């Protein structure tokens, strides 16, 4: 039993780092729970929120403590995200897993192309001249909310694209805001799963311990390291490339 617990902590640690600085770390924890630990898909999906919640709470606090997290002027964005998420949850109930996979795969390929085409824009700070107008940006946040409720995995990647390329926010501050948004959304979804009795607490808490540690370490690195934005970008590209290759193999 201790070997599976240790594996859960290790997998959670890696996922916590990836989720905090890039996105899609849930691919690791969900794969670990279903393929290695033998949890049913719906239970793994619910249990995964425990680790995400622990990681994002720790990460949000660490980013805030180091002055990287600010919610000033973000009210409209948050409202649009949460409104879209409620619709996305309803869509998730109506549409099957095959449709999920097809949509997710297509979007990941598109995102990898976007990230690779203009790497400099991901590392520039406050490029106000390239910000999207509100009439394009606000629908983008709403659709991102729908996607978050619909599929969730990979949501952080698209959120970073909107904040960095659409709002001109530097990559580290965008990551800090992403972690906070995911924390709020996960609080609501986990409460629903707990009420339905779908959470495997032992696995969730061991994975969550690893994710919290990984999230804290990554948030601290992102806040203090002078080239954290460069490493975050590299990790983002790596994760997208791995996911696309995995889909094609």
Tell me what pLDDT residue 211 has: 93
Which tokens in the block code for residue 92?
A: 């998730």
pLDDT tens digit sequence for 84-116:
888 877 776 666 555 655 666 676 677 677 667
**pLDDT tens for each residue of 202-244:** 999 999 999 999 889 888 887 887 776 777 777 777 766 776 7
Q: What confidence score (pLDDT) does residue 247 get? A: 65
Residues 168-190 as b/e (b if ≥16 CB within 10 A, e otherwise) read bbbbbbbbbbbbbbbbebbeebb
Alpha carbon 213 to its chain centroid, in Å, reads 16
Looking at 54-68, 99-113, 166-180, which range is the least confident one?
A: 99-113
**pLDDT higher than threshold 90 for residue 54:** yes
pLDDT bucket at 80, cuts 50 / 70 / 90? very high
Looking at every residue in the chain, the average pLDDT score rounds to 79
Q: Is the pLDDT of residue 21 over 80?
A: no
Q: What is the pTM of this model?
A: 0.75
Confidence at residue 142, expressed as pLDDT on a 0 to 100 scale = 93
Give the separation between CA 106 and CA 213, rounded to whole angstroms. 32
Mean pLDDT over 170-181 rounds to: 86
pLDDT score of 103: 66
What pLDDT is recorded for position 200?
92
Highest mean predicted confidence (pLDDT) among 71-75, 76-80, 107-111, 162-166: 76-80
Domain carrying residue 129: 2-248
78 in Cβ contact with 141 (< 8 Å) = no
Q: What is the pLDDT of residue 210?
A: 92
pLDDT at res. 96: 56
Least-confidence region, from 38-52, 65-79, 83-97, 202-216? 83-97
Total structural domains in the chain? 1
Helix, strand and coil in the chain, % to nearest 5: 80, 0, 20
115-127: pLDDT as tens digits: 676 666 655 555 5
Which of 207, 182, 206 minimizes the C-alpha distance to 23?
182
Q: What is the pLDDT of residue 178?
A: 87
Do the Cβ atoms of 165 and 126 come closer than 8 Å? no
Cα–Cα nearest to 189, from 92, 75, 112: 92
Identify which has the larger pLDDT, 133 or 119: 133
């Amino acid at each position: 039993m201790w070997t599976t617990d240790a594996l859960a902590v290790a997998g959670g640690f890696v996922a916590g780092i990836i989720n905090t600085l890039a996105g899609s770390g849930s691919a690791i924890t969900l794969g670990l729970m279903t393929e290695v630990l033998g949890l049913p898909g719906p239970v793994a999906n619910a249990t995964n929120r425990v680790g995400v919640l622990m990681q994002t709470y720790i990460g949000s606090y660490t980013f805030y403590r180091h002055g990287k997290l600010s919610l000033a002027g973000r009210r409209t964005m948050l409202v649009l995200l949460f409104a879209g998420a409620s619709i996305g949850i309803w869509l998730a109930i109506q549409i099957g897993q095959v449709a999920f996979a097809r949509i997710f795969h297509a979007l990941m390929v598109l995102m990898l192309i976007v990230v690779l085409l203009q790497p400099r824009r991901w590392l520039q700070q406050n490029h106000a001249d390239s910000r999207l107008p509100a009439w394009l940006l606000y629908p983008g946040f709403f659709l991102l909310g729908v996607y978050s409720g619909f599929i969730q995995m990979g949501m952080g990647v698209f959120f970073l694209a909107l904040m960095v390329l659409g709002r001109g926010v530097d990559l580290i501050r965008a990551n800090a805001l992403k972690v906070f948004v995911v924390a709020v959304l996960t609080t609501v979804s986990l409460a629903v799963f707990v009420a339905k009795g779908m959470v495997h607490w032992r696995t969730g808490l061991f994975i969550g311990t690893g994710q919290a540690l990984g999230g804290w370490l990554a948030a601290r690195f992102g806040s203090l390291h002078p080239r954290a934005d460069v490493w975050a970008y590299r990790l983002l590209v790596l994760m997208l490339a791995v996911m696309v290759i995995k889909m094609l193999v």
